[in-house]
C-alpha cells in the first residue's frame, strides 16, 4: 500500500467536520485573554492554560519587544553552538533561584524538555516507572529512551509500590505530573516521594501545570508539599503560567551539566528565540511580585468547580484550575463544545484514547483574570446545554485498556486527534 492510500483511509476527522462539530484548530483572531475574537465575535475563553493571565500583560509584551530590539528575532543555531545568548543564562539563573534548584537548562519546547531529560538519563538497565495517565511527551520520551517501561495506575501509590518492589534490584526513575492536564487532579507527591526513598528511586516531576499555580511563591507542586529537595528533576514549560513557549529542566548542577552535553533534544534543536525568553523573565517577575494573581486563580477555580457540581455535573477528582466535566459519548462531547462556542464560551474536548471509552469529557481551565460574572455566564450556558445533551458516562464493559493506558496495537486507537494541553 502506498502512503497516499494509507492516509486516505483516515476518514473520522472529515466525518466530524462534515457534521459541523469538529473541535480542533479553531482560529482565534486576538490575544489569549479571558475574551477572544473568533469569527468576528467575542467568545469567553475557558479553555486556555494562561492561568495567571500573563500572555497579554503589557510588561510581558514590552519585554518581548525589548529582547528583539537587543538580540534580534532568532538565534540561528542551537544552544550547544552559536545559539546561547546572555538572556538564556539570565533566565536559567532566575528560574533556578525561583525553583530553589542548583541549576536549570532551557529547551525550545516543554515537549523537548521531557524528551531531553528522560531519553537522555535512562540507561539500558533503567526502569522508567510512569503514571499511566502521563502526558504524551512523557510517554514519547520513555519510548525514545534505552530504558524499560512500566506504568502504575493513575495516582495510585499502592500500585507504584508493587512495581518498585518488583524492580527493587534495578535502577529506577519514577515519573509523574504534578497537576494532571486532563483530570485536573494533583499528584500524591508525599506518598510517591516516600516510596522512592524506600526503594532507592529517583523522581522526575513534570510540573507544567503546577508552576505558577502551586507553592507559596508559585514554585510549583514540589514547593507546595515542601519536597523540592527530594524531587530530583522538575520539568516545566513556559506555555502555561509563564506566558510564552519553551521548556526547562531544573535539577542538581551535575545532572544539568550532563544534559548540556548529552541531550539530543537540546544539541540538535534551534535555541529559544529572544522574545520568548524576555517574555518569560517578565512573567516570572510578575509572578513573584503579585501573589494575589494566584489567590484569584484559586478563588475562580473553586467557584467554577462548585458551580458545576451544583448543577449535578461530574468533575471527577479535580482539585486545581483544570476542571473536567464528564459527558460520556465522544460525539456528544464534540456537540457540547460546538454548542458552547455558539453560546459564546470556548472549552476543550477530551476523547479516547486520552480517556476511557464512554468517559469523554469537556475541560474548563480558569484564569486569575476571569471575573465571577464571566464564570456565571459560562455556568449558565453549560446548564442550558446539559438539559439538551445527556451528560452521563456510557457503559464501557468492552474497554480493552482500562485506566487510560493506550493499547499496544496503534490500529486499535481512535484515529481522531485528542485534546492536548500542549508543551
Active site residues: 181, 209, 240
8 Å CB contact between 206 and 175:
yes
Q: Give the closest residue to 178 by CA, choosing from 123, 122, 138.
A: 138
Sequence-separated (6 or more) residues with CB below 8 Å from residue 392? 326, 328
Sequence-separated (6 or more) residues with CB below 8 Å from residue 88? 79, 106, 271, 272, 277
8 Å CB contact between 142 and 129:
no
3-state secondary structure string across the chain? CCHHHHHHCCCHHHHHHHCCCCCCCCCCCCCCCCEEEECCEEEEECECCCCCCCCCCHHHHHHHHHHHHHHCCCCCCECCCCCCCHHHHHHHHHHHHHHCCCEEEEECCHHHHHHHHHHHHCCCCEEEEEECCCCHHHHHHHHHCCCEEEEECCCCHHHHHHHHHHCCCCEEEEEEECECCCCCCECCHHHHHHHHHHCCCEEEEECCCCCCCCCCCCCCHHHHCCCCCCCCEEEEECCCCCCCCCEEEEECHHHHHHHHHHCHHHHCCECCCHHHHHHHHHHHHHHHHCCHHHHHHHHHHHHHHHHHHHCCCCCCCCCCCEEEEEEECHHHHHHHHHHHHHCCEECEEECCCCCCCCCEEEEEECCCCCCHHHHHHHHHHHHHHHCCCCCCCCCCCCCCCHHHCCCCCHHHCCCCCCCCCCC
**How far is Cα 64 from Cα 67, in angstroms, rounded to an integer?**
5
Burial of 275 (0-12, 13-18, 19+ CB in 10 A): buried
8 Å CB contact between 113 and 235:
yes
Amino acid at each position: 500500500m502506498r502512503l497516499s492510500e494509507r492516509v486516505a483511509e483516515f476518514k473520522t476527522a472529515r466525518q466530524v467536520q462534515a457534521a459541523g462539530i469538529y473541535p480542533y484548530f479553531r482560529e482565534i483572531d486576538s490575544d489569549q485573554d479571558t475574551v477572544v475574537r473568533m469569527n468576528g465575535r467575542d467568545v469567553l475563553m475557558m479553555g486556555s492554560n494562561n492561568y495567571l493571565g500573563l500572555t497579554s500583560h503589557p510588561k510581558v509584551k514590552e519585554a518581548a519587544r525589548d529582547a528583539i530590539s537587543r538580540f534580534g528575532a532568532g538565534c540561528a543555531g542551537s544552544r550547544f553552538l552559536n545559539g546561547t545568548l546572555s538572556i538564556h543564562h539570565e533566565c536559567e539563573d532566575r528560574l533556578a533561584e525561583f525553583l530553589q534548584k542548583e541549576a536549570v537548562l532551557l529547551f525550545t519546547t516543554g515537549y523537548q524538555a521531557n524528551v531531553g531529560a528522560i531519553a537522555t538519563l535512562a540507561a539500558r538497565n533503567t526502569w522508567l516507572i510512569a503514571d499511566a495517565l502521563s502526558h504524551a511527551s512523557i510517554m514519547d520520551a520513555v519510548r525514545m529512551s534505552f530504558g524499560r517501561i512500566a506504568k502504575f495506575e493513575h495516582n495510585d501509590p499502592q500500585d507504584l509500590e508493587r512495581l518498585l518492589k518488583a524492580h527493587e534490584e534495578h535502577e529506577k526513575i519514577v515519573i509523574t505530573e504534578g497537576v494532571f492536564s486532563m483530570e485536573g487532579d494533583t499528584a500524591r507527591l508525599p506518598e510517591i516521594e516516600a516510596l522512592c526513598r524506600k526503594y532507592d528511586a529517583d523522581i522526575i516531576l513534570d510540573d507544567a501545570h503546577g508552576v505558577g499555580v502551586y507553592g507559596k511563591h508559585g514554585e510549583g507542586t514540589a514547593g507546595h508539599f515542601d519536597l523540592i529537595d527530594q524531587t530530583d528533576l522538575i520539568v516545566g514549560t513556559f506555555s502555561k503560567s509563564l506566558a510564552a513557549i519553551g521548556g526547562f529542566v531544573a535539577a542538581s548542577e551535575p545532572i544539568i551539566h550532563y544534559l548540556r552535553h548529552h541531550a539530543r533534544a537540546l544539541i540538535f534543536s534551534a535555541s529559544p528565540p529572544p522574545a520568548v525568553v524576555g517574555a518569560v523573565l517578565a512573567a516570572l517577575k510578575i509572578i513573584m511580585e503579585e501573589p494575589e494573581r494566584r489567590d484569584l486563580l484559586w478563588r475562580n477555580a473553586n467557584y467554577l468547580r462548585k458551580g458545576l457540581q451544583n448543577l449535578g455535573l461530574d468533575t471527577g477528582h479535580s482539585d486545581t484550575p483544570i476542571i473536567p466535566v464528564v459527558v460520556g459519548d465522544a460525539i456528544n462531547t464534540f456537540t457540547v463544545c460546538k454548542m458552547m462556542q455558539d453560546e459564546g464560551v470556548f472549552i476543550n474536548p477530551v476523547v479516547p484514547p486520552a480517556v476511557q471509552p464512554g468517559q469523554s469529557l469537556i475541560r474548563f481551565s480558569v484564569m486569575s483574570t476571569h471575573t465571577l460574572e464571566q464564570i456565571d455566564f459560562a455556568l449558565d450556558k453549560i446548564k442550558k446545554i446539559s438539559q439538551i445533551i445527556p451528560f452521563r458516562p456510557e457503559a464501557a464493559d468492552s474497554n480493552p485498556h482500562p485506566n487510560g493506558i493506550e493499547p499496544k496495537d496503534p490500529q486499535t486507537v481512535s484515529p481522531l486527534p485528542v485534546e492536548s494541553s500542549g508543551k
